[in-house]
Amino acid sequence: MRFDQWRKRAIERLCLYKRAEYDVDALLSFITGKNRSYILAFSETELRLEQEEQLEQLLRKRESYEPLAYLIGKSEFWSLNIEVSPVTLIPRNDTECLVEKALELLPNHACTVLDLGTGTGAIALALASERPDCQFIGVDYLVDAIELASRNASRLKIANTSFIRGNWFEPIQGHKFMLIISNPPYIDELDPHLLEKDIRYEPLSALVAPEKGLAYLRHIIACAPDYLIDNGWLLIEHGWKQGTTVRNMLSASGFNHISTKKDYGNNERCSLGQRLRILNTKNT
């Protein structure tokens, strides 16, 4: 079968998807090793039999909503080509608003940043690519995620990152950071969206938190002041309905200059607060 014939049939089969054409071209590109321009320009090229078989298998998986990123093993985040795997979350476009905000918060001089629940390393790598003068440490409790993030760093040749396995702050005891950034799991385990289409394939370990989705947000916000230098910032992603609760948590932990940033869909997506210098008011 020719490229154009396979394309046409595959687009028809994925017609219920918003991005059917994009997905079909990505699969074709993944199997043939040719980019989209080549596929369109040389549309009469014949597929080999084994390529047709591989494409059929992938198309069936995509028809069952298996995410494209898992099928082709990569996803784009902040213009970086990130390797992904089902051990952790596929980086979301909305998370790029944390990267934007973090770049505004970072001072002009070199400093150290902690990315908690780093997954693929997407946030740390995006920031590190923009700020080669700073150091970025990513923590995740899954060894597979740490290996994935480290592979991404070496493939992208981003040297100012390191990835450590551990439970939230446990592996960085005694260290302090200018910025702590985190996209922790924050979905309530009873949220019906977890049963929907593509999201069913992503690991619950990256999505779900106890206490109606709030447990890890609460833990990170409560502990962060001990790991921030004076005037350092905490920037944390949360669900679009969790903004008020997260702002209250930040306030209860003594943060100042608390605010919330909306994502590209105009939903509250991340909140931030600054740990101001604790002044010693006693006259000694």
Which residues are documented as binding site? 117-121, 140, 168, 183-186
**Rg over CA atoms, the chain:** 21
Q: Residue 206, interface with ligand SAM (CB under 6 A)?
A: yes
Cα–Cα distance between 140 and 206 in angstroms, integer? Answer: 10
Cα–Cα distance between 158 and 126 in angstroms, integer? Answer: 9
Tokens of 78: 């902040």
Segment contacting ligand SAM (CB under 6 A): 59-67, 104-112, 182-190, 243-251? 182-190
- DSSP characters over 52-93: HHHHHHHHHHHHTT--HHHHHTEEEETTEEEE--TTSPPPPG
Give the annotated binding-site residues for substrate: 183-186
Q: Residue 67, interface with ligand SAM (CB under 6 A)?
A: no
Q: Residue 25, interface with ligand SAM (CB under 6 A)?
A: no
Q: Residue 160, interface with ligand SAM (CB under 6 A)?
A: no
Site string for ligand SAM, 136-155 (x = CB under 6 A): ---xxxx--x----------
Residue 200's φ and ψ, nearest 5 degrees, are -60, -25
Shortest spacing between CB 149 and ligand SAM, in angstroms: 9
Assess contact for 272 and 262: CB atoms under 8 A.
Answer: no
Q: Residue 168, interface with ligand SAM (CB under 6 A)?
A: yes
Residue partners of 193: CB distance under 8 A and separation at least 6: 187, 199
Shortest spacing between CB 47 and ligand SAM, in angstroms: 34
Among 183, 253, 271, 274, the residue binding ligand SAM under the rule CB under 6 A is: 183
Q: Residue 29, interface with ligand SAM (CB under 6 A)?
A: no
Per CB under 6 A, residues contacting ligand SAM are 88-89, 91, 95, 117-120, 122-123, 139-142, 145, 167-168, 183-185, 205-206
